Structure 1
């Protein structure tokens, strides 16, 4: 059983933060993963263009894009009446970097095989 000053307890708290990360929750939806893949392939795109590559209606696609944007994974811009989305590469990388650093710390502290 872990003691009160056991360094593993602090790492477990960090693990909780990683596993409850809004980014992981957002990426748990397959449609959102597909949208990210399409944006990586197409670059900056509007809702109609992205919806043309998916079986979902454009209103559903728009809602998923908003969730990705609110999580910081997409940038949004508006030109006249069109809304465009693109990947926020820096935020995407930083989110996963923080998760990876925590996992590396967990492996180190628990003395797991890396």
Structure 2
């Protein structure tokens, strides 16, 4: 339950959700090209990317003085599994489904 809350909390912020969407659309992006709506200062962008990195939703790679970001492998699957009502290994389902 703790991991689910951390994952959902990481994307609950509109800025971070927008960053996840942008990275999903482009695949990989240099931090210098990441855009947010509304635009935010670089230090705040770094903070939001750190939250996503700490949650395991994005990965980063330093290339010279720039850092490139991409969604972590399995990020969407982990988010989907964290949603309320998603099947869990302990879930037995409904008898009427049999």
TM-score (norm 1): 0.66
Structure 2 regions of 5+ residues with no counterpart?
none
Moved over 3 A (4+): none
Structure 1 regions of 5+ residues with no counterpart?
1-16
Which structure is higher in helix share?
Answer: 1
Say which one has the larger Rg: 1
* SS of equivalent residue, structure 1 residue 85: strand
What is the RMSD computed on CA atoms of the aligned residues?
3.0
Q: Distance in 2 between the 1:19 and 1:47 partners? A: 26
Q: Distance in 1 between the 2:74 and 2:4 partners? A: 21
Structure 1 residue 91, shift from structure 2 partner: 3.6
In the alignment of these two chains, the number of paired residues is 94
Given that 1:47 and 1:58 are in contact with CA atoms closer than 8 Å, whether structure 2 keeps it comes out as no
